[in-house]
Amino acid sequence: MPSPVFTVLDLETTGMGPSARIIELAMVRIENGQVTNRLSSLINPELHIPDFITRLTGISNTMIREAPVLSEVARRFLEFMAGTIPVAHNAHFDHSILNQELIRLGLNPVTDSFLCTVRLSRRLNKGLKSHSLSSLKAHFGIRHSSAHRAHGDAEATALLLLHFLEKLEMGNAPVTGADLLSFQYSPVGVKPVSEKKLTDLKSRVTRFPERPGIYQFIGKNEQVLYVGKAIRLKERVLTYFNGFHVKETKWVRLIRQTTDIRYLETGDELHALVIESRLIKRFLPPYNTLQRRLRHYPFIRLSARHPFPSFSLTREIREDGCDYFGPFSGGAVTGILNDLIEQSGLVRLCDDVTFSRGKLCTWYSMGKCPGPCTGEMSGETYREGIRLISDLLSGRGRGLIGHLEGKMNLLAEREEFEQAARLRNKLREIEKQTFKHVSAGGTLNLNTYVMFHVRDGETGYYLIRFGLLVTHGVLKSEQDLADLTAACREFYSGLAKDMELPPLGAEAVDEIRLILNWTYKNRKNLKFLFPSESETEHSWHDVILSTCGTLLTHRVNSQKNRKKPEK
């Protein structure tokens, strides 16, 4: 039987998540236990490389300026790896980013299963505390230059793979391609779950509904081991007893400790997300490792009560009367936003103490401040600039983008091409990232509204206050509409008495992020009703009907006009 052929790959990116772009890609082919070919290239991501990526990889914006874009080299790399087993260290990341980029280019994703050297190492080197690439290189004495560069890390990963293959052959372990792919998911020092227990738990799950909700794995003494969410409960929970989950160590341990599996219908996906988050924060289940970590998301704060307000970055919400935009996904996004505010030249960048001196500062001489401290600028003119920036931060307008594009064109006319290119890259990045993180209601202070979700012939509603879910339901009848009308009257009457943003802890901010992400994902099927749009001359009944459109009108009228069946 011929030995398998491997393509070891590594890539460097502008970051993580859906907006990440590849900036370097390298591949190393292994045949018959030897490296036989190599292919690598820097790649122009067509957007700005964040400073922290440059510090990590050494790849700068200058280096990739003349590099090919991915569409020019993608087919060459795909042909290089065709017919081989793809290999990577922490393969899930490389596989997902590569496919994300291929789909963006309109190409078919790589469907071949990846071999992961992290998984192999965990099964072959059980005594090691760390299986990171740097730790394994140190342990096995692998020396190479260019760490955190795709070509260097691909070479190191290839040497690791050769070492692992040799170890498997010495131990008479399987080395065929199919067996290797199966071996990487074999349990690591964990006894398999008995068939009797699997059958018992699966029989309970088969009674679950195919409806949205949350599920809990319960252990001894009623300990909550794991909390999850699902759009279809039965289908999702049954996956823990098939395929990937029954081979993965973490899930084998979870099922062994489980004495019961319970569920709670939520009626919709968003409510399931919120309930899942709240239960995880309450019970701290040991198998919800990621969701237990509270992240301190950044905000942009506007000192709204100052005659000439200014913007600043913060990770803390205070009861200070300021307006807060966010939460944003991370420091990279807020850094870009801050750069654009600075580049706009529309607002002051100094603190209040410096402003009170009434003297022009360095920011003014650099063209990055309009100089309101001199008293020669009206508050109305200044607040027009504040409005442009606020509209961008809340996703409600592109006026600032247009202003900065004009500034970019002016720099180009002056032949200041490097500054114009930097501004162009920032504009591209902000357009791709900002609107995924903005709130539906502008600032967090005003992020209070009724949201309607029209899906599968059903209209759900959500009352949101300060970005947090207050209550939700589904409009199925005239009575549901009457209940929502009453709830809206009570909801908005309370707002008039208390519109002050309260201090929000990390748990609340985490929930706001969940709702924002879900809102962005489902934005095409959502309609919003804000307090200012509830005109007093119309009844809430009419306002809600006009907001939801013809589908809700049809459903309510059909319920009202439905006749009782004859006896």
Query: Are 50 and 39 in contact, with CB atoms under 8 Å apart?
Result: no
SS3 content of the chain, % helix, strand, coil (to 5): 50, 15, 35
The DSSP call for residue 354 is: H
User: Residue 82: which region, alpha, beta or left (left: phi > 0; alpha: psi -120 to 50)?
Assistant: beta
Query: Are 175 and 169 in contact, with CB atoms under 8 Å apart?
Result: yes
- In DSSP terms, 207 is beta-bridged to none
Helix (H) or strand (E) holding 279: helix 269-283
Residue 451 one-letter amino acid: M
Query: Catalytic pick from 144, 148, 245, 541?
Result: 148
Q: What is the rounded distance in angstroms from the CA atom of residue 348 to the CA atom of residue 335? A: 17
Can you tell me whether residue 386 is helix, strand or coil? helix
Q: Which two tokens stand for residue 433?
A: 């990232």
Report the chain's C-alpha Rg in angstroms.
Answer: 28
Residues 24, 113, 247: CA angle, nearest 5 degrees = 125
Query: Are 214 and 227 in contact, with CB atoms under 8 Å apart?
Result: yes
Q: What is the number of other CB atoms lying within 10 angstroms of the CB of residue 225?
A: 21
Query: Are 329 and 436 in contact, with CB atoms under 8 Å apart?
Result: yes
The DSSP call for residue 472 is: E
Biggest CA pair distance of the chain: 88
The DSSP call for residue 562 is: P
Single out the residue of 325, 435, 458, 316 nearest to residue 386, CA to CA. Answer: 325
Q: What is the rounded distance in angstroms from the CA atom of residue 423 to the CA atom of residue 494? A: 44
Query: Are 8 and 19 in contact, with CB atoms under 8 Å apart?
Result: no
Q: Where are the beta strands (DSSP E) in 99-191?
A: 115-116
User: Residue 375: which region, alpha, beta or left (left: phi > 0; alpha: psi -120 to 50)?
Assistant: left
Q: Is 453 one of the annotated active-site residues of the chain?
A: no
Q: What is the number of other CB atoms lying within 10 angstroms of the CB of residue 516?
A: 22
- Look at strands 224-230 and 260-265 and give their pairing: unpaired
Show Cβ contacts of residue 130 under 8 Å, excluding neighbours closer than 6 positions: none
Can you tell me whether residue 193 is helix, strand or coil? coil
Q: Which two tokens stand for residue 316?
A: 């803390």
Residue 418 one-letter amino acid: E
Residue 383 one-letter amino acid: R
So which residues are the catalytic ones? 148
